[in-house]
Amino acid sequence: MALHTLLRSRLATAPARGFAVRALPPLGAPCLREQAKPVPEAMFGTPALDAIVADLVDTMRDANGAGIAGPQIGEGWRIFVVEGSGANPRYPYKPKLPLTVFVNPELEVVDEAPMEIFEGCLSIPGVRGRVARASKVRCAARRPDGSSFGVLAAGHAAGTLQHEQDHLDGILFPDIATPGGLVLADAFDEYHRDAFFAYAARLND
């Protein structure tokens, strides 16, 4: 059973809290700058945690995101989800990735060779920024049921994991963009899109 279907099934028996697309707090909201808290042991395997994860998934998909973290919906827990459809209109260059939920993730850089990625963010609509990211990372995390897993990610997947991990530490991509690297989305489309998409395709290769 797909994770999203499983979460919907579990939420059907959960009291009070519903399944919803959540509002995205705007840039300047304190929740985007706070250090997220580790999910406590007692929260694993509960309807409360499943509901937060389900809301993250639904909110990410509704906004055509490639990932989203707890603080982006006002939930100050160390949780993020990532997914690549392979045909995302916001990030058409990103490859297909299965929906994956990371609870209490710990990120380790495996290869520091930099990638120069033009990033966007659901919390900062209408802006792109050139950010240097490590080309390969390893992430150890837990699933909502408490089980542990790890992934080795390279290229765009590695960039997405680093972006979402930053959210858990109150860091937004403009904070680490290269000098002069911030552009409006319209300017990105007009002046930078073609060159970046060609570079992004090479990363995929």
pLDDT of residue 19: 57
CA 71, 73, 74, 75 torsion-angle sign: negative
pLDDT of residue 205: 84
pTM for the whole structure:
0.90
- Residue 152 near residue 138, CB atoms below 8 Å: yes
CA 10, 16, 21, 22 torsion-angle sign: negative
Catalytic pick from 75, 83, 119, 164? Answer: 164
Alpha carbons 61 and 167: distance in angstroms, whole number: 18
Residue labelled with tokens 């260059």: 93
164 is annotated as an active-site residue? yes
Residue labelled with tokens 């680490």: 176
- Helix, strand, or coil (residue 131): strand
**Residues in the chain with pLDDT values less than 50:** 1-17
Token pair for residue 101? 């939920």
